[in-house]
Chains A and B, each alone.
Chain A
Amino acid sequence: NAGVTQTPKFRVLKTGQSMTLLCAQDMNHEYMYWYRQDPGMGLRLIHYSVGEGTTAKGEVPDGYNVSRLKKQNFLLGLESAAPSQTSVYFCASKTGIKETQYFGPGTRLLVL
């Protein structure tokens, strides 16, 4: 049972490039979330999903898109990366019944 995994661990992009961050969970959780963490800002919700095939916007969705084609995977896309998207990205998941969120190890993204 690997829990929540994130791919890649670290990435450097040039402004305007695109990329996809992958989050995978093997706990059969219904809910999945993408957060970004910036110094002194805590965790801010980008997008979330309450089930396969559903997605919704969070607090800071601009510049990001997501997809949940399979229950165990939640993808975060950056179509045209900007330096303001330099951050550490965390994925989390939880069951539909309990509140406890399980976080992945994070993806560190640097946009030059």
Chain B
Amino acid sequence: GENVEQHPSTLSVQEGDSAVIKCTYSDSASNYFPWYKQELGKGPQLIIDIRSNVGEKKDQRIAVTLNKTAKHFSLHITETQPEDSAVYFCAASPRSGGSYIPTFGRGTSLIVHP
């Protein structure tokens, strides 16, 4: 089955700095890679995703890059703000066609200091 490794487990940055979270996956059949943000006491919420036919995707201050050859993908947050503080999860899965079973990384706790 799929195995997703996520690093770092904790990331502390100053407001305005950039933050990068990296994930690697093992199954070459995976072609859908979502990122979730989980605020304290809440459920995870999708913030951005990327499919295998795209190398990079941006949404305002958030971007995701994918290197299928190396089997890794990364989340980039620029101009971080205190409200970006949360736990971030990556996931990998084959695209929905049958059962959709994403495998999640263990999470990164991002702390943005004012």
Cβ-based interface call for A112 (8 A): no
B107 A103 Cβ-Cβ under 8 A: no
Number of interface residues of B (CB under 8 A): 24
Residue positions of B touching A, CB distance < 8 A: 6, 9, 32, 34, 36, 41-46, 49, 89, 93, 95-96, 99-102, 104-107
How many chain A residues touch B (CB < 8 A): the figure is: 25
List residues of A whose CB falls within 8 A of some B CB.
4, 31, 40-45, 48, 50, 56, 58, 90, 92, 94, 96-101, 103-106
Q: Are A90 and B107 in contact (CB under 8 A)?
A: no
CB of B99 within 8 A of CB of A90, answer: no
Please state if A98 and B96 are interface contacts (CB–CB under 8 Å): yes
**Judging by beta carbons under 8 Å apart, are B99 and A45 in contact?**
no
Partner of B95, one of A48, A56, A99, A100: A99
